[in-house]
Chains A and B, each alone.
Chain A
């Protein structure tokens, strides 16, 4: 009886949907509840901001928040148990191989083709290729829609870099111009230059507390992303074609050593720095440079959050000299995509909510400083009018730098088991940073762990997934 009633309601809902679509308004799903799970806070804020639109479409959103580092555990537990508690999931796309590969997600291709296109087409053709090819697809099918175009970016204090006294002092010490570092070697030099003791002078002002050249993401969880900046730009890839780990090559060890060396110019507690601490160190004006996610750029322009409004420059994340030229590869750790679990009871409504966030409202979301979302569509870069910066130069610099980093993007590992591989790598990076192991020993240990993970998950299968991942990297233009 209840089921029949639901079917009838769905039928009426579909009718209403067709009618409302034709009128160019929002669809009407006839009062369905869509339960959404994601990492709580700024990354789910858009669900509140656009709540009225969802209500008008007959959709009530129920939010379930997870922690930034606990999202995978929460989702996978639900998927393994098959409880079907969620209709839409917001997750980091490195897990797409795990989730789609294990059949936990609904393929979206058919839903995307429904008419009218204004309601259903997510316009993936105008999504930047790395996000479209690597983060949304698995096995040739679309399983997710982009929501957050995370990419790292170099932020620096342009007021200090333009200060005549600082420029002269740098020129005298390093016999070159003071400019944002282009290589990781230069990163260390600039970091050293700006690290000052309490009582020293910086840009003509006496320092009341120590000042640091840089800060790194030092806490467990995502410190691997800051290692990947060095590793990837030196030409590193995760595995060779036979699934042998390549994370402990001499270039990788050198990259990790660079990160360890950088700690000398960081605040003393940098190993406890996660996203918030790293962001605040820069926004509070405590460090001269950081590599951070691209959403931080928007926050630098908000006087409520930032003490450095109008003083920030944006640039490509440093690279590594390879065969006589500097190669940049900017990691895209985290990111967020929207997907519909295979067990969802409201697939159509959930898909529409995802599409609405991914396309219709995305220009507002990715440009707002209340959100953690970053641009991922070509149109996001083409129309800068939504972005709030103190001046035109900053706005343009931010978008140019973000796009340039994206064009050099290096994806997170996204094959099944990615969470385990990444955790083992992150632990190794953290061991090296804390001095528990030297970079070579730490990365050798991680490589051994990776071999074990591959064996446990089945080498042949993993090799097949990795080959597929490599072809998606190529399709996105990230590998030759």
Chain B
């Protein structure tokens, strides 16, 4: 078989897979791009027509509900990633120092991360119940009057944040622990000989070495937090009012409650662009840290 024939044969072999991929991924994606520039609404007697950038202009300049949801999502992502990274590092450092029983302890700590978000949400509902929940009961024993977590505009988003943090901190702890365990011991030893301890060891040796692995974990968490839906659905349905409505929840409302696919598609693409930009910026930051 000649080189050309071999290449053609290879192309033939991958064609079904590429075709399938096109049908189930690329085609729907292209369709939703097209739809986002129309006025398509299921159940509307109005014919579908080209809308240009109307949906995008409305969303970014006029739709205050969308902009508030965007702001809330940014808060949730930023707060969640920072908190979970710091706590994850603390947990990983403790586990790193433990010699015996580490695997058992790690398995136990990881339980929240392996249960489904829906289950975590229902647990959250019980934990944050203002009248019967264990959290407010514990606070009351300390003499603190706990808030109505899920029923207050001030705390509903916090309850979502806390549930997510409870569930996903172990995941980051696991990633950071793996990074700590793979630190090249010769570099650590050399740094010690040069007098690096405590903060200087962490800042100039440990941190740059664990950044590549930890960064991936943070990136995954950030993207995941940006897509937070299940917890909002189970814990608050976006309420009270729309004080805990995130971007994905609002997109769901537009797409599957209002059956307004054109608007929901436009929202999805704005989110895609935002996540891509944020991810690019974060990866650039990681690269800078690594070359420090």
- A residues near B (Cβ < 8 Å) are 69, 72-73, 76-77, 80, 98, 102, 218-221, 267-273, 286, 416-417, 419-420, 423, 427, 430-431, 433-437, 456-458, 461
Question: Which residues of chain A are near B243, meaning CB under 8 Å?
Answer: 434, 436
Question: Which residues of chain A are near B41, meaning CB under 8 Å?
Answer: 456-457
Question: Which residues of chain B are near A434, meaning CB under 8 Å?
Answer: 152-153, 239-241, 243
- Assembled-state Cα–Cα distance A427/B41 (Å): 21
Q: Does B99 contact A (CB under 8 A)?
A: no
Q: Which of A80, A102, A271 contacts B239 (CB 8 A)?
A: A271
Closest chain A CB from B222 CB (angstroms): 27
Question: Which residues of chain A are near B39, meaning CB under 8 Å?
Answer: 456
Question: Which residues of chain B are near A458, meaning CB under 8 Å?
Answer: 44-46
Q: Mark contacts of B26-60 with chain A using CB atoms, 8 A cut-off: 1 yes-contact digit, 0 otherwise.
A: 00000000000001011111100000000000000
Instruction: Flag if B151 contacts A268 (CB, 8 Å).
Output: yes
Question: Which residues of chain B are near A271, meaning CB under 8 Å?
Answer: 148, 150-152, 239-240
Question: Which residues of chain A are near B239, meaning CB under 8 Å?
Answer: 219-220, 271, 430, 434
- Assembled-state Cα–Cα distance A270/B151 (Å): 7
Closest chain A residue, CB of each to CB of B39:
A456
Q: Which of B42, B150, B253 contacts A272 (CB 8 A)?
A: B150
Question: Which residues of chain B are near A219, meaning CB under 8 Å?
Answer: 237, 239
Instruction: Flag if B237 contacts A221 (CB, 8 Å).
Output: yes
> What are 28 A-B contacts with C-beta separation under 8 Å?
A73-B257, A76-B42, A77-B256, A80-B42, A98-B43, A218-B151, A219-B237, A220-B238, A220-B240, A221-B237, A267-B131, A268-B148, A268-B151, A269-B151, A271-B148, A271-B150, A272-B150, A272-B236, A286-B131, A420-B257, A430-B240, A434-B152, A434-B240, A436-B240, A456-B260, A457-B43, A457-B46, A458-B46
- What does DSSP make chain A's interface, helix, strand, loop or mixed? helix
Q: A269-B150, A417-B43 are in contact. List 5 more A-B contacts (CB 8 A).
A: A98-B43, A271-B239, A271-B240, A436-B153, A457-B46
Closest chain B CB from A447 CB (angstroms): 16
Instruction: Flag if A220 contacts B131 (CB, 8 Å).
Output: no
Closest chain B CB from A450 CB (angstroms): 13
Nearest 4 pairs between A and B by C-beta? Answer: A269-B130, A434-B240, A271-B151, A269-B148
If the complex has contacts A73-B256, A268-B130, A272-B150, are A416 and B241 also in contact, measured as CB distance less than 8 A?
no
Closest chain A CB from B54 CB (angstroms): 12
Question: Which residues of chain A are near B241, meaning CB under 8 Å?
Answer: 427, 430-431, 433-434, 436-437
Closest chain A CB from B239 CB (angstroms): 4
Closest chain A CB from B124 CB (angstroms): 11
If the complex has contacts A219-B239, A286-B131, A437-B241, are A76 and B148 also in contact, measured as CB distance less than 8 A?
no
Closest chain A CB from B117 CB (angstroms): 15
Question: Which residues of chain B are near A431, meaning CB under 8 Å?
Answer: 240-242
Closest chain B residue, CB of each to CB of A461:
B45
- Assembled-state Cα–Cα distance A267/B149 (Å): 13
- Assembled-state Cα–Cα distance A149/B129 (Å): 31
Instruction: Flag if A272 contacts B45 (CB, 8 Å).
Output: no
Instruction: Flag if B43 contacts A102 (CB, 8 Å).
Output: yes
- Assembled-state Cα–Cα distance A433/B241 (Å): 8
Question: Which residues of chain A are near B256, meaning CB under 8 Å?
Answer: 73, 76-77
Instruction: Flag if A419 contacts B258 (CB, 8 Å).
Output: yes
Closest chain B CB from A250 CB (angstroms): 22
Question: Which residues of chain A are near B258, meaning CB under 8 Å?
Answer: 419-420, 423
Chain B interfacial residues counted at CB < 8 A: 31
Closest chain A CB from B280 CB (angstroms): 34
Instruction: Flag if A218 contacts B257 (CB, 8 Å).
Output: no
- Assembled-state Cα–Cα distance A465/B239 (Å): 31
Q: Mark contacts of B152-188 with chain A using CB atoms, 8 A cut-off: 1 yes-contact digit, 0 otherwise.
A: 1100000000000000000000000000000000000
Q: Does B282 contact A (CB under 8 A)?
A: no
Q: Which of B129, B253, B259 contacts A269 (CB 8 A)?
A: B129
Question: Which residues of chain B are near A76, meaning CB under 8 Å?
Answer: 42-43, 256, 259
Closest chain B CB from A203 CB (angstroms): 21
Closest chain A CB from B121 CB (angstroms): 12
Question: Which residues of chain A are near B242, meaning CB under 8 Å?
Answer: 427, 430-431, 436
- Assembled-state Cα–Cα distance A102/B243 (Å): 34
- Assembled-state Cα–Cα distance A286/B148 (Å): 16
Q: Mark contacts of B252-278 with chain A using CB atoms, 8 A cut-off: 1 yes-contact digit, 0 otherwise.
A: 010011111000000000000000000
Interface residues of B in 220-254 (CB under 8 A from A): 236-243, 253
Closest chain A CB from B276 CB (angstroms): 28
- Assembled-state Cα–Cα distance A436/B240 (Å): 9
- Assembled-state Cα–Cα distance A132/B44 (Å): 27
Instruction: Flag if B151 contacts A69 (CB, 8 Å).
Output: no
Instruction: Flag if B240 contacts A433 (CB, 8 Å).
Output: yes
Instruction: Flag if A272 contacts B151 (CB, 8 Å).
Output: yes
Instruction: Flag if B130 contacts A267 (CB, 8 Å).
Output: yes
- Assembled-state Cα–Cα distance A77/B255 (Å): 10
Instruction: Flag if A423 contacts B237 (CB, 8 Å).
Output: no
- Assembled-state Cα–Cα distance A272/B243 (Å): 13
Question: Which residues of chain A are near B46, meaning CB under 8 Å?
Answer: 456-458
Closest chain B CB from A414 CB (angstroms): 14
Closest chain A residue, CB of each to CB of B148:
A269
Question: Which residues of chain B are near A417, meaning CB under 8 Å?
Answer: 43
Most A-side CB within 10 Å, residue of B41, B43, B44, B129: B43
Question: Which residues of chain A are near B257, meaning CB under 8 Å?
Answer: 72-73, 419-420, 423
- Assembled-state Cα–Cα distance A453/B96 (Å): 57
- Assembled-state Cα–Cα distance A268/B258 (Å): 32
Closest chain B residue, CB of each to CB of A277:
B129
Closest chain B residue, CB of each to CB of A80:
B42
Question: Which residues of chain B are near A435, meaning CB under 8 Å?
Answer: 153
Question: Which residues of chain B are near A270, meaning CB under 8 Å?
Answer: 148, 151
- Assembled-state Cα–Cα distance A397/B242 (Å): 39
- Assembled-state Cα–Cα distance A430/B241 (Å): 5
Closest chain A CB from B228 CB (angstroms): 17
Question: Which residues of chain B are near A427, meaning CB under 8 Å?
Answer: 241-242
Closest chain B CB from A270 CB (angstroms): 6
- Assembled-state Cα–Cα distance A221/B236 (Å): 10
If the complex has contacts A269-B148, A420-B258, are A69 and B131 also in contact, measured as CB distance less than 8 A?
no
Most A-side CB within 10 Å, residue of B45, B237, B239, B258: B239
Question: Which residues of chain B are near A102, meaning CB under 8 Å?
Answer: 43
- Assembled-state Cα–Cα distance A279/B165 (Å): 31
Closest chain B CB from A280 CB (angstroms): 9
- Assembled-state Cα–Cα distance A427/B244 (Å): 12
Question: Which residues of chain B are near A430, meaning CB under 8 Å?
Answer: 239-242
- Assembled-state Cα–Cα distance A25/B241 (Å): 53
- Assembled-state Cα–Cα distance A221/B257 (Å): 11
- Assembled-state Cα–Cα distance A417/B41 (Å): 11
Closest chain B residue, CB of each to CB of A266:
B151
